[in-house]
Each structure stands twice: as structure tokens, then as C-alpha cells.
Amino acid sequence: MPVYEFICQKCGKPSEFRATVAEYSKGLAAQCPHCGSTKLIRSFSSVGLVTSAGGRGPVCGPGAGPGCCGR
């Protein structure tokens, strides 16, 4: 069962919720355990997203041709 990380938009504290993919796709009723707010946004800090740190990698500007960014 995957763990979904959320950041509370009210108090800014992270929290984790375990849910199946099916449960998550139906809409996970995440609630902040710290302040009780339900305004939680998904945190992708642990997914390992490739960031643009260093400014390297392909940049899709206005003049980018087909194939840029996998299109």
C-alpha cells in the first residue's frame, strides 16, 4: 500500500496517509492531524522528480520543435 505525502496548506506541516491506489483515485479524504484542516496538497518530495536544478536539460521555448519534452 503506497504512502501519500501531503502538505497542509493551513499549518504547513507534512503528513502521510496510507491508501490503496483505488482509494486514492476515488478521492482520499485526507485531514491534517495537526490542525484538522482538510486543505492538503500532495507532496511529491519523495517521488524523486527531476528538477531543473542547474538549468540543464532540454528547454521547451517558443521555438521548440516537435519532439521536445516527449511530444
| The only residue of 21, 29, 35, 64 in contact with Zn ion, by rule CB under 5 A | 35
Site for Zn ion in 5-34 (CB under 5 A): 8, 10-11, 32, 34
How far is residue 69's CA from residue 18's CA, in Å, rounded to a whole number?
A: 32
Q: How far apart are CA 45 and CA 48, in angstroms?
A: 7
CA distances from 13 to 38, 64, 65 (A): 12, 39, 41
Nearer to Zn ion, 35 or 64 (CB): 35
35, amino acid identity: C
Residue 34 vs 42, nearer CB to Zn ion = 34
- Residue 16 Cβ vs Zn ion, minimum distance, rounded to whole Å: 13
Q: Report the interface residues with Zn ion, using CB under 5 A.
A: 8, 10-11, 32, 34-35, 37
